[in-house]
Chain A
Amino acid sequence: AQSVTQLDSQVPVFEEAPVELRCNYSSSVSVYLFWYVQYPNQGLQLLLKYLSGSTLVESINGFEAEFNKSQTSFHLRKPSVHISDTAEYFCAVSDHRRGSNYKLTFGKGTLLTVNP
């Protein structure tokens, strides 16, 4: 069984400031890691994912996350946020094994609020 911990339920920041949203996981097997974003009144959208290879993954809108196996973390970072980044962010993991890799386990989410 896996679990995901997002330590911060809310993160308020000012526009153009850097931000880090923390995510830690626990699992007895290797995992795939994901960050999803949910804008108001919309479904969750995949922001970025780690499957294998380089431990640093990037999204098209400037977010990046680094897989740290020793610390079992997958923190999300952006060097300079915009008002439009205001949303709820969910970290998720799935078992890497075929036949069970579709079963995502999510954290409780972090509400990022970017203020002018």
Chain B
Amino acid sequence: NAGVMQNPRHLVRRRGQEARLRCSPMKGHSHVYWYRQLPEEGLKFMVYLQKENIIDESGMPKERFSAEFPKEGPSILRIQQVVRGDSAAYFCASSPPLRASTDTQYFGPGTRLTVL
């Protein structure tokens, strides 16, 4: 059973460009979470999605960031007009439908975004 896949693993963008980060959840998982790890910090929750629905985006910056999880295909985290402060590691996690709050989130290896 393949784990959570993220690509690309490393992404370099110049200021003002767009960054697209992809996440394919584990087989059978319908819930996806995105986390961001800024330098010298712990992972911070960004957004929780189910197929075609954003459940909780309370951790997303208000501008330039968006996320989707379409019916078919991977989840996408999109950052428009990137700035140097967006440089971070972005982790995706997935889980099966929540049951009594005990489900574990399975993490991908992360995408390291560098903005020049």
Pairwise interchain contact A43-B3, C-beta atoms closer than 8 A = yes
Task: Check if B43 is an interface residue, CB within 8 A of chain A.
Answer: yes
Chain A residues with CB under 8 Å of B95's CB are 102
8 A Cβ contacts from A16-42 to B: 32, 36, 41-42
The interface centre, meaning the residue of A32, A102, A103, A107 with most chain B CB atoms within 10 A of its CB, is: A102
- Contact count A vs B, C-beta below 8 Å: 65
* Contact flag A103-B45 (CB < 8 Å), given A36-B107, A43-B91, A44-B107: yes
With an 8 Å Cβ cutoff, the count of chain A residues facing the other chain is 26
- CB < 8 Å: which of B56, B104, B106 contacts A49? B104
Pairwise interchain contact B109-A43, C-beta atoms closer than 8 A = yes
Query: Which residue of A is nearest B102, CB measured?
Result: A51
The interface centre, meaning the residue of B93, B105, B110 with most chain A CB atoms within 10 A of its CB, is: B105
Chain B residues with CB under 8 Å of A44's CB are 43, 91, 93, 107
Pairwise interchain contact A43-B107, C-beta atoms closer than 8 A = yes
Query: Footprint of A on B, CB under 8 Å?
Result: 3-4, 6, 31, 33, 35, 37, 40-45, 48, 56, 58-59, 91, 93, 95, 98, 101-102, 104-110
